[in-house]
Amino acid sequence: MSLPMRFLIGDLKIIALVFALALLTACSGGQKRTASISLSGSEAALKQTLYGHYREWASIPYQYGGLSKSGIDCSGFVYLTFAKKLGVHLPRTSDRQAQTGKPIPQQQLRTGDLVFFNTGPQQHHVGIYIEQRRFLHVSTIKGVAISSLDNQYWSDRYWKSVRVLSS
């Protein structure tokens, strides 16, 4: 192999390594942050926004790591919903989202709160509370859906709730 080619391959390896490290640090844990903002509209307007977003995404399939209408995962849906509809930047993963905001008891849930579930060993699922014990999320079976916290599957796996929006 020629000397210039060795330098080119070496440079490409360094670029690939830097890119990989940047991705890992963007998705890795860090210090706990609170991303609490005040809502400018009423809770009714927020509900309307969330239901409208649901209608746009209803039945889009689940895809691990997905972030588009061809497939999306639960934390990606929460991430996109808050960024595009509410102008709030949240972390991309459910574990990091669970560390954001203020923990609240399930009995005090309000529209826009995040609800978390233990769905497997070291696996967490996240959704957005709407109203009347219903939450918006991405189901591995149904895709983007609205489910009830009273459904036995979800009530058995409920872990915690956090508030990232303040009114």
- Given 27, 89, 124, 137, the catalytic residue: 137
- For this structure, is 74 an active site residue? yes
Q: What are the DSSP E strand ranges found in 34-133? A: 37-38, 67-68, 71-72, 102-104, 114-120, 123-131
CA distances from residue 158 to 1, 22, 120 in whole angstroms, order as listed: 58, 33, 12
- Quick one: tokens of 109? 């849930």
Of these residues, 27, 53, 74, 124, which one is catalytic?
Answer: 74
> CA dihedral in degrees (151, 100, 95, 118; nearest 10)?
-20
Q: Quick check: helix, strand or coil at residue 51?
A: helix
Q: Which of 27, 89, 124, 125 is catalytic?
A: 125
CA distances for 99 relative to 9, 63, 140, angstroms: 40, 23, 23
Strand order in the sheet with 102-104: 102-104, 158-163, 114-120, 123-131, 134-139, 143-148
137 catalytically annotated: yes
Q: Which residues pair with 166 in a beta bridge?
A: 38
Enumerate the active-site residues.
74, 125, 137
